[in-house]
Structure 1
């Protein structure tokens, strides 16, 4: 709201460079808020499909759009701030410290984060997906892709070593983990998705369902029974 107000004031004062700077920062914050709102309020159940390669559940594409627009705004706003404001071309009351040093460092960090994240999003073209196939599990986010063969999985839990909301944690024989944060972003029920992962890990005889649509139907109907057995 503060950045948006500054953009309006800049337009009123016929300062397009200041408006571009403040407007870019306003778009950045609005994009993050929109992505959070979509995550919390919009069901992700319809963004899934199946094929011979397996069943894939995806983060709502609207989240990727919100991130992309927000990151573009952050890139524009931080770049304009560093070029125009720090050189005294325009004046904006963003600096809480006397000479604006802290704000300048924050803008440098925002520029780096926006550039790297936007490049990763353009490369991946999605916010993330989780795929279950006859052979194993694949998880991808904006930055990298990780996979595990079913035979290499030794446990699937909902307990992460770091603070993560509603995770699915896949432990492998080599000690590495695939941590899928916030499983609710991939299905209408993150709990059902978790029990789905455990079911196909512990029941290889049912994995053909992953390639013919039955697994997706079961997920949407939440037909996976909680498995309270051990991880062996």
Structure 2
């Protein structure tokens, strides 16, 4: 599959990718710094300090890995992806298992570290050299992070948040993002275009006028999407590379005679080319 020219909505994100190394390096420094203090806390028999430092160090290490992984995937085009025709009659493109597990572990580590920091500080069991302003702000920031991580873990466990996936059959295209699942027939799609979702590369599916789109909103909470929102899926989290995935979907939109490949496994070979 030939690479697609960089579309305008992705240009800014491709430029930002060059700074991924700086971001990853910053997280790496925090990981080493907190890891060192965590080991020292164990050696000094200060378990509560270790319960803050070590999870924080591991969380920063995972975040550095995530940043580097996304940067690599943004520049990948046509490399062998982890694609599984795991359902009868269709081809699924999924986030890698390592990425999904790493995200959940990151949330769990953030919950532990932030909770220990906030509770330990407010109960005077932890003390850190901080300015007066930091003494006021940091514990509340840690508590906020703990609440966010706990809520995200609960939402994933309940199915109110789900990992992104694209599922293609000869008849329909299903795009599942973290908060919503959209299903549309190929014949009802006007165009498939690149777009941006915050600082992430995404794909926009534009329905024809009067098209029927089946929408399942499984997220309940602040900033919940509307069933009337555009069909958008973040794609720089997939191991295919965003350009190769965009080309893949556009090929089957433009070549209806080839859509049978989506149901018999040949589509996987096409994406790997």
Same fold, judged at TM 0.5 (above): yes
TM-align CA RMSD: 2.8
Contact 2:164 2:234 in 1 (8 A): no
Identify the residue that residue 238 of structure 2 maps to in structure 1. 185
For residues 52 and 122 of structure 2, what CA distance do their matches in structure 1 show? 12
The 5-angstrom pairing of residues 96-107 of structure 1 reads: 96-98=131-133, 100-107=135-142
Give how far 1:126 is off. 7.0
SS in 2 for 1:77: helix
Contact 1:139 1:145 in 2 (8 A): yes
Asked if 1:176 is matched to 2:229, the reply is yes
| 1:120-158 superposed Cα distances (whole Å, 9 cap, x missing partner) | 444569743211122322222444433333243222111
For residues 220 and 144 of structure 1, what CA distance do their matches in structure 2 show? 27
For residues 238 and 64 of structure 2, what CA distance do their matches in structure 1 show? 15
Contact 2:118 2:140 in 1 (8 A): no
For residues 178 and 49 of structure 1, what CA distance do their matches in structure 2 show? 23
Give how far 1:66 is off. 1.6
Q: How many residues align?
A: 218
Identify the residue that residue 256 of structure 2 maps to in structure 1. 204
SS in 1 for 2:124: coil
Sort the Cα spacing of 1:220 and 1:126 in 2 relative to 1 into closer, same or farther, 3 A.
farther
Q: Is 10-19 or 120-129 further displaced after alignment? A: 120-129
The 5-angstrom pairing of residues 1-232 of structure 1 reads: 1=30, 2-41=33-72, 45-50=80-85, 51-93=87-129, 95-98=130-133, 100-122=135-157, 127-160=163-196, 162-172=197-207, 173=209, 176-183=229-236, 185-187=238-240, 189-221=241-273
Give how far 1:81 is off. 1.5
Give how far 1:106 is off. 1.3
Sort the Cα spacing of 1:192 and 1:99 in 2 relative to 1 into closer, same or farther, 3 A.
closer
Sort the Cα spacing of 1:116 and 1:45 in 2 relative to 1 into closer, same or farther, 3 A.
farther
Contact 1:32 1:66 in 2 (8 A): no
| 1:25-63 superposed Cα distances (whole Å, 9 cap, x missing partner) | 222222212223333447773421224341111112111
- Determine which structure has greater relative contact order: mean sequence separation of CA pairs < 8 Å that are 6+ residues apart, divided by chain length: 2
For residues 141 and 120 of structure 1, what CA distance do their matches in structure 2 show? 14
For residues 112 and 89 of structure 2, what CA distance do their matches in structure 1 show? 39
**Structure 2: gaps (5+ residues):** 1-29, 211-227
For residues 90 and 183 of structure 1, what CA distance do their matches in structure 2 show? 40
**Structure 1: gaps (5+ residues):** 222-232
Contact 1:27 1:69 in 2 (8 A): no
